[in-house]
Amino acid sequence: MNAVTLNPFAIAAGIAQNRYLLGQLVKRDVLLRYRGAMFGVLWIFLSPLLMLAIFAFVFGHVFQARWPEQREGLPFWLILYCGLIVFNVFGETVARAPTAVRGFPSYVKKIIFPLDILPLVPLGAALVHAAFNFLILAAALAITGNLSAGILLFPLLLVPVALLGIGAAWFLAAWGVFIKDMTQIVPLFVQMLLFLSPVFYPVSAVPPGLTFLYNANPLGAVIGAARAAILGLPVPWGAWTAALALGLAVAILGHAFFQHSRDEFADAL
């Protein structure tokens, strides 16, 4: 029976102990994604650049959309892109979580292999992509004359989303071993959550009767905090702290569930 702990420091220490192995798995995961492509790992830059160009055209020239708190000269599509970076850290991690363990049955049969780091691999890859997206966002803000010191808070503001993502990933990776349908269900859920979160629109655009649901969404709180940072507005630290506390709780419970379930992985696979 594997040890189950609710001590966040013990969980963090276990991950830190296997940080080199985790780093190699993340590196392998990122490189395999682009192996065989004509431009190789350059797609890490090209993909967000193309996405940003499409956003600039559609929302800047076709819809000519504006954000309620948008200051003069700051393009709407950069505000939208900021929210999408935050959401994609969670979305990419969760969407790939059901196959995080199921996809590596040979590792499950290795008694000494730290299986709990496997769901961290999608998170690591998502953070790599977020880092490149962040650099492009910063460059775009600088080019448009809207770069401010608030953007330095962006990596810190992502912490609750990373915790929520890895907590959900531990749950889903364990369920994915036993329920094959999770690989079909979870991506649909992520797509629904994308449109149910204030990524493409502000909370102020939501009907009054549903506002409380959006205010309870921790992803929305982090997206709002990240946007406030790049807009030069006060960051809503209260909502961000609540999201951080919830993310930490989900991560702890997710790890406990994963460790409790892992003894049955080999039989299921």
Q: Domain coordinates of the chain in residue numbers?
A: 8-268
Select the more confidently predicted residue: 226 or 78: 226
Residue at 246: amino acid letter = L
What does the pLDDT look like over 10-52, one tens digit per residue? 889 999 999 999 999 999 988 888 776 666 667 777 777 777 7
Give the mean pLDDT of 153-175: 95
Average pLDDT over residues 226-247: 92
Average pLDDT taken over every residue of the chain: 85
Which residue did the predictor score with more confidence, 247 or 210? 247
Q: With contact defined as beta carbons under 8 Å apart, do 48 and 132 qualify? A: yes
d(CA 19, CA 122): 14
Q: Is the pTM of this model over 0.85?
A: yes
What does the CA dihedral 57, 60, 61, 67 come to, rounded to 10 degrees? 150
CB atoms inside a 10 Å sphere around CB 138: 15
pLDDT reported for residue 76? 78
| Sign of torsion over alpha carbons 154, 218, 74, 136 | positive
* Confidence class for position 164, pLDDT limits 50, 70, 90: very high
Confidence of residue 165 (pLDDT cuts 50, 70, 90): very high
